[in-house]
Amino acid sequence: MANSQFVPACIMFIANIVIVNIGAAIGGWPNGHATFYGGACGYADTNKQGYRVETTAQSSALFNNGQTCGACFERIQTNGIWLHVAEKGTGPLVLLLHGFPEIWYAWRHQIEYLAENGYHVVAPDLRGYGDSDAPLNHNSYTIFHIVGDLIGLLDHFGQQQAYVVGHDWGAVAGWNLSLFRPDRVIGLVNLSVPYFPRSPTTKTTEAIRQIFGEGSHVIQFQEPGRAEKAFARYDCMTVMKKFLLVTNNLIAPPDMELIDYLETQSSLPAWLTEEDIRVFDKKFEESGFTGPLNYYRAMDLTWELLAPWQGSKIMVPMKFMIGDNDPGFKSGGTSEFVQGDEFRSLVPDLEVVIVGGHHFIQQENPQEVSSQILSFLRTTKVTATNLCPPSKNASANWCNPPSKHFDLSQPMFLKIAKFAAARIVPIHFQRVPCFKRGGIKFYLGVRPNFLLVLVDNVGGAGEVVDVKVKGLSTGWIQMTRNWGQNWQTGGGLEGKNH
């Protein structure tokens, strides 16, 4: 009836990636809710395919073609090189970034676990490692190159944002990706290497030399060819065992090469098998260690280039984990720094978790680390932004003025998006690499009329090609563009809900 309390209505649109804002009449709604119900690639109408209106935008089942790839591997062109990636699962994107000396396989436990829990997991071999390209010049390994590679990965997968999880050098990459491009990071989980402030006067290698001396692995790795020559005295399996099972500081005594100083364990712990080591061994036999060592050789150049970010903070939500027996945790004041106020001043939205294990905790303690990662992914807040015009003129009928932002836990919209007294209802969903149909089912409170829809296309204007609206008992009413992605009916739905 025309004077009913609620007016059910639907919108249909064809698009790739959009935020839909549903505008109400002046005065707003005392209550209202909106639910995304359609648009999986390959399905004309997922509401009819069994998803129903209760399943909304970030359900891992919605944004794929109904297929899972199992364990997929591919090489992706990014930032002028090719990166090899392991990929599994569907849902929100999670990047897993390994450290030294590892490859994607270091995340084998987390790849399975996160994919099973509704995430699209991508674990690259970082540049210089495994099956990825390895530029010869160490100046091609600054943190700017590494972050550029990661931005290219996000673009390749069509994602404006992703969760990022890093270990060791992968943590350094995660810190700096969040520093340079916080708009591309939903939340960050880093393992083993905290975010240290940049010295304004002392280069990185000189600072390390002052604290740890010439025997530090960072110092020994600086000279091109030195570490490679020392490593070559051992077979690759032994080199991998020495590093993966390290229990002491990476600081060699005077006149001794680090690789000779590191112990070779007589037996393997339960968490690391001969088969595991052979996976690493095969790739490092093929690609060598020069690419990974070049990260260290570019540290001072990175220090120079980071000057504009002197004193900058990491402003994304963040969880940091470190093993209680990590040699790096127990030396150089790291334990005090990680658990003190300075770290939190640099990373305001920080949670610190100390887990059982040494340096390679994602392999040594996979159950706890994986569980900690998942809990962070599920509780990280994402702000859905109202896309009203910037004017706060109270007479603006459809904005009146822009509403405040609101937060939804990740994965977004696994439950129906509900809130009270809304003037603008943002519905935010993922990019799908093909055209599709989808829709919003919504109820307008008190005001039984429909004014307009603003479809703001995150991927670039023009991809939204058609918008229709219908009442409870009407047919589909074609909407027309007003301006940009502002679509209107030319009339309300009053009296059309019976």
Active site residues: 168, 296, 359
CA atoms within a 13 Å half-sphere pointing along the CA-CB vector of 417: 29
Sorted by sequence, the CB contacts under 8 Å of residue 163 that are 6+ apart come out as 92, 93, 94, 95, 119, 185, 186, 187, 188, 189, 377, 380
DSSP 385: P
Give counts: helices (H), strands (E), the chain: 15, 21
Closest CA to 494 of 477, 343, 483, 96: 477
Cα distance between residue 220 and residue 234, in whole Å: 17
CB 497 within 8 Å of CB 472: yes
Cα distance between residue 149 and residue 129, in whole Å: 13
Cα distance between residue 271 and residue 109, in whole Å: 11
The token duo for 382 is 């994402």
CA geometry: angle 243, 202, 318, nearest 5 deg: 60
Q: Phi first, then psi: what are they for 455, rounded to 5°? A: -100, 105
Cα distance between residue 109 and residue 162, in whole Å: 20
CB 127 within 8 Å of CB 83: yes
Q: Phi first, then psi: what are they for 466, rounded to 5°? A: -160, 140
First to last CA, the chain: 5
The token duo for 25 is 């009449």
The token duo for 195 is 């975010």
Sorted by sequence, the CB contacts under 8 Å of residue 451 that are 6+ apart come out as 23, 24, 25, 397, 398, 488, 492
Sorted by sequence, the CB contacts under 8 Å of residue 482 that are 6+ apart come out as 452, 488
CB 12 within 8 Å of CB 468: yes
